[in-house]
Structure 1
């Protein structure tokens, strides 16, 4: 074999790439590829631990060791920056361990089949094992099969599982069970599995059928009311890494803005006074209630930052800004930040491409990227998260 047949990196979708640009599925850096496509495993190639890999769409990178996965994450971020003519210090990624995923959406059929979708397909992998889900979530798969069989839904269901303070929160989309038999089955299921809550949604909003105690998630040491299927960082370890990075950027700044604040992952972890803006009404009301009960100096506003981003004049009131937008990024807010005089910014992102696009606008407006802390929360996935420190260029 020639050097051209050696895998030198992993592309964005998870396939290995040789020195001469050949893409090879399920190859790791250091692997050798023969002319007929056979792979000779190198030092970073692992035997995938799960029987469902690579059919299951929940994982794409189980054949990589942690060193190769870290390099993949760094390469994704560096590539996103380079596409906009940018570069920065990229720190070593923090990786979440196996079986720590505390929220997930599974799919189910009336036959009882339940699991993640097949890669690039609507077919469902019937889970017999899972190496990414927290044990509390995976333990519900078999009982859910039996419950779904009793409910006899007429269409495919989406099952949202979240590990809350009180146990597992379950929301099933696509069915609204009716009748005494269904009610008894739901109550028996919830009691037997010690659920925190069980709700159903047929398209008109969640209807709770079981919630013995108010469901919360603790953020920054504060129990926050948890609306069904709310966004949370995927793992506790990933959340801790992102919060630590944000806190190091903000420091002891007395007045901070937290944009796209959600339930308060960062707002409740920061010192001083925090202004928190969020478009999701249930999320911002939950944060407001939690801050009030805990007497935290968090001032909330229900505000759509896409339609009404903070203006430069509003941004100038803060000593530091935290921004954690959805995957689409925050182009309009980045433009306002570029025109502001705010001195410090923590940008949390789950999409290196939209992050680089937004940061390019800001760099052109006089900001600089100090460093980037990558976080691998979605074990063996091509999904990449990061927290970046930006400051005004001198």
Structure 2
């Protein structure tokens, strides 16, 4: 049985929302103002047909849109899409009673996402490589991608051949693919044990595909060329499968906002520093203390710093900032702190920052909701919110990066 409804607005995950019997129903791939026919299943529904399309609806760029769960908003015109993302940031801040002038979002370009996390499974005698459907376990095998770099898209046949060797009989293989200055860095996790030990065969496959490096379950199989990323002139080789910002374009915009906020500072703490996205850039002008819980990431940062000419000292500390945040006494020697935590935010560390005398704080976040919570704590502790810069790192998804600058007093 189908129903016809009118979409009122987009929810924070990009689904259209309609009201039925005074209750919200979430319908993916719909837009505000559209009249649509749906099949309802509880609070969610499947789009059957569009009766009256929105003027903001456009043709999606990718043939897989609507089945692949990687993108949610390819059907929304660019200006309306960017305005919606900015509204998500404003709404998150407003939910915590915060008001700030929000700068226009830094846009993203198609084909610039340098890091992709693909899934591979065996199905019907063949291997599928792609992304899960939205809100489902079924895998969509992809042959193109509107957001990934051309080098990653071109490598899909080679990645499928690799998955055919490594995918377990049951379960999933995870492929983290990073487009670096020297080629693709491929890290496989969840491999078939026997196949994972065939280093000669895997090495030949990697060489034929011209991968820069291939790792399986954390162990480097072959490194033909160091898979380096350029962090402000410093060449950083990440640990296999390690976290880096998904887009070089967005990373540069975020770094520019961070550096602008701390101009003139002399000693900076970079918390949740990762492999040095910001620390290696900050060290051009200031002393840096980088703190990160991942030992391998800190090791990559240290090697990059030692090999890069002209940088000031970067001291490093491996520390779980959730369990052991830096306290006010440890923060007193810094005139600026930058922190870029996971999606859950940095509530424990922020509470200590709010009690500190640090002059400048720069918060970087991929989750406006937890960012707003953390900013509220800092503002209640006496900080003033000076600027908010959204960055569209994850094109066509509901996710948004934000850089916020606060000053004491």
Q: What TM-score do the two structures reach when normalised by structure 2?
A: 0.88
Q: CA deviation at 1:365?
A: 0.7
Cα-Cα RMSD: 2.3
Aligned equivalents of 1:136 and 1:294: distance in 2? Answer: 27
More strand by share: 2
Q: CA deviation at 1:73?
A: 1.3
Uncovered stretches (5+) of structure 1, i.e. residues with no partner:
none
Match of residue 127 from structure 2: 112
Paired residue secondary structure (1:113): strand
Q: How does 1:68-83 map to 2 (within 5 A)?
A: 68-83=80-95
Q: Is the 8 A contact 1:147 1:185 kept in 2?
A: no
Match of residue 13 from structure 1: 13
1:308-333 CA-to-partner distances (Å, cap 9, x unmatched) read 11111222211111110111110011
Q: How does 1:7-156 map to 2 (within 5 A)?
A: 9-17=9-17, 24-29=27-32, 31-33=33-35, 38-110=50-122, 111-151=126-166, 153-155=168-170, 156=172
Aligned residues: 384
Match of residue 266 from structure 1: 278
Aligned equivalents of 1:172 and 1:328: distance in 2? Answer: 26
Paired residue secondary structure (2:250): helix
Aligned equivalents of 2:145 and 2:291: distance in 1? Answer: 36
Whether 1:312 aligns to 2:328 is: yes
Deviates more, 1:20-29 or 1:371-380: 20-29
Q: CA deviation at 1:265?
A: 0.7
Identify if the C-alpha distance between structure 1 residues 216 and 176 changes in structure 2 by more than 3 Å, giving closer, same or farther: farther
Whether 1:256 aligns to 2:268 is: yes
Q: Which of 248, 265, 281 does residue 236 from structure 1 map onto?
A: 248
Identify if the C-alpha distance between structure 1 residues 286 and 53 changes in structure 2 by more than 3 Å, giving closer, same or farther: same
Match of residue 345 from structure 1: 361
Q: Is the 8 A contact 2:112 2:148 kept in 1?
A: yes
Identify if the C-alpha distance between structure 1 residues 184 and 292 changes in structure 2 by more than 3 Å, giving closer, same or farther: closer
1:125-178 CA-to-partner distances (Å, cap 9, x unmatched) read 010221111111112211222333344632321111011222101111111564
Identify if the C-alpha distance between structure 1 residues 152 and 61 changes in structure 2 by more than 3 Å, giving closer, same or farther: closer
Q: Is the 8 A contact 1:114 1:125 kept in 2?
A: yes
Uncovered stretches (5+) of structure 2, i.e. residues with no partner:
39-48
Aligned equivalents of 2:159 and 2:304: distance in 1? Answer: 32
Q: Is the 8 A contact 2:275 2:301 kept in 1?
A: yes
Whether 1:225 aligns to 2:237 is: yes
Aligned equivalents of 1:170 and 1:198: distance in 2? Answer: 5
Deviates more, 1:255-264 or 1:44-53: 44-53
Deviates more, 1:120-129 or 1:32-41: 32-41
Q: CA deviation at 1:347?
A: 0.5
Aligned equivalents of 1:54 and 1:34: distance in 2? Answer: 15
Q: CA deviation at 1:188?
A: 2.8
Q: Is the 8 A contact 2:6 2:36 kept in 1?
A: no
Q: CA deviation at 1:182?
A: 4.5
Q: What TM-score do the two structures reach when normalised by structure 1?
A: 0.91
